Amino acid sequence: MENTVRIFLFGKKYEVPDNLTIMCAMEYAGYKLVRGCGCRNGFCGACATIYRIKGDKELHACLACQTKVEDNMYIATLPFFPLVKQVYDIEKVPLNEQVMMQLYPEIYACIGCNACTKACTQGLNVMQYIAYAQRGDFEKCAEESFDCVMCGVCSSRCPAGISHPQVAMLARRINGKYLAPACEHLKDRVQEIKDGTFEDLMQKLMGKPVAELKELYNNREIEK
C-alpha cells in the first residue's frame, strides 16, 4: 500500500497517495480537468489554487501542478479570475506615467496591504512592481514582474480591485517596444523565418520520433 493522505477537494474527502501534486491528486480522485490545467510545468498559470491546512488559519495560494498534497489539506481551484484587460494600441501608447492613469487608474487606490505579494504563486514582489507602475518606471516594473504567469491570484486578494498581471503586461510591452535596447540578431532571425529559411529543417524535425527530438534538443549547440 502506498502512503496516503486525506485531502478535501471542494469540501469532499478523498484518500490519495502522498507523493502526488494537487493536480495529479485531483485526477487520481476522478476529476477530469477540462479547465484549470495547462502546461503542467508551472509556466502557464492556469492551475491557480487556494488551500488551507486543517487547524491553520492561513489561506495559501499555489499552482496545483507544482504543489504536493498534505494531510488534511482543504483545496479549491481558481482556474480563472476576471481581470480588467484594457484595449490599447501599443504603437500609440504615450511614454509617461499618464498611460497608467488612463488605462489602469485603480492602481492609485492601492492601500499598501501587501496581500498581492503574499498571495503570489511565483513569490514576486507584486506591491513593489505596482509602485513602479504608479511612478511610470516601466523598466523596473517590467523587470520586477518578469516571472508573472498571469494566474490572477494576486488580484483575487486585492481590496482595491487592481488587475496586477495586466498592469505588469502593459509595462513589459512598453519596455520591450520603446525602452529596451534593440536586438539586431533577433531582427535578422525573424526575417529569416519570414523568408522561409528554416522550412526544410522544420519539416525534417516534424518527421522524427519524440525520443530523437529530445536527444537533439539535449545535445544542441547553445548560442553565446
In which band, very low, low, confident or very high, does the pLDDT at 71 lie, cut at 50, 70 and 90?
A: very high
**Any domain includes 11:** yes
Statement to judge: residues 152 and 199 lie in one domain: no
Q: Which of 16, 46, 77 marks a domain boundary?
A: 77
Q: How far is CA 73 from CA 13, 16, 24, in A?
A: 10, 11, 14
Q: What is the domain range of residue 195?
A: 184-217
Statement to judge: residues 110 and 161 lie in one domain: yes
Reported as half-sphere exposure (CB side, CA atoms, 13 A), residue 126 has a value of 32
pLDDT in tens, 16-65: 999 999 999 999 999 998 888 888 888 888 999 999 999 998 889 999 99
Percentage of the chain exceeding pLDDT 70: 99
Amino acid at 70: E
Alpha-carbon distance of 51 to 162, in angstroms, equals: 22
Q: In the numeric block, which cell numbers belong to residue 83?
A: 481581470
pLDDT in tens, 96-114: 888 999 999 999 999 999 9
Query: Nearest 5°: CA angle at 155, between 131 and 77?
Result: 150
In which band, very low, low, confident or very high, does the pLDDT at 1 lie, cut at 50, 70 and 90?
A: low
Is residue 224 predicted with pLDDT exceeding 70?
A: no
Alpha-carbon distance of 135 to 129, in angstroms, equals: 10
Query: pTM value?
Result: 0.76
> Does residue 14 sit in helix, strand or coil?
strand
Statement to judge: residues 199 and 156 lie in one domain: no
Query: Nearest 5°: CA angle at 116, between 56 and 111?
Result: 110
